[in-house]
Amino acid sequence: MNIPLWLDALIAALLLIGAIVATLGSVGLARMPDFYMRLHGPTKACTLGVGCTMLGSLLYFSAAGKGISVQEVLITVFLFVTAPVSAHVMARAALHRRVACSAHTRHPPWPEMDHPPVTPAPANPGEARQGPSAILGEGSDARSRGGS
């Protein structure tokens, strides 16, 4: 197995970068103060750290073997698709269950969730009416229109 020196250095750099980023993501998981911040570290570490490691593995086994290693490509695609989706689902579930934020959070999500969105008031108050009286005129309804 004769791998060129430049490719060997690239593989080593990718593996080293992947290991460093994955380690930083693990430290972020352990040290962040609340769930939302803890969710951020491993998600980024999964997509970037494991992605670099898989790319290094792909290059190594492709250069040493007979062609592109399909297993590493499938693992990388699977991780790049599932990590952001799973983080989004976990964050939405935490918001729904009102998991507590850190005291240092600048914009807690609850005030926006507690109140329905405010719709602007119409310029003409008569436009705000709904139902039959808005269509047929003030004080009238469908039963009083009939000729009987």
Q: Which residue has the higher pLDDT, 59 or 69?
A: 59
Residue 119 banded pLDDT, cuts 50, 70, 90: low
Cα torsion 128, 132, 136, 139: sign: negative
Rounded Cα gap, residues 41 and 30, in angstroms? 9
- pLDDT of residue 6 exceeding 90, the answer is yes
SS3 5: helix
Residue 114 banded pLDDT, cuts 50, 70, 90: low
The verdict on pTM exceeding 0.85 is no
Question: How far is Cα of residue 46 from the mean position of the Cα atoms in its chain?
Answer: 13
What was the pLDDT predicted at 134? 47
Q: Highest mean pLDDT range out of 10-19, 81-90, 96-105, 128-137?
A: 10-19
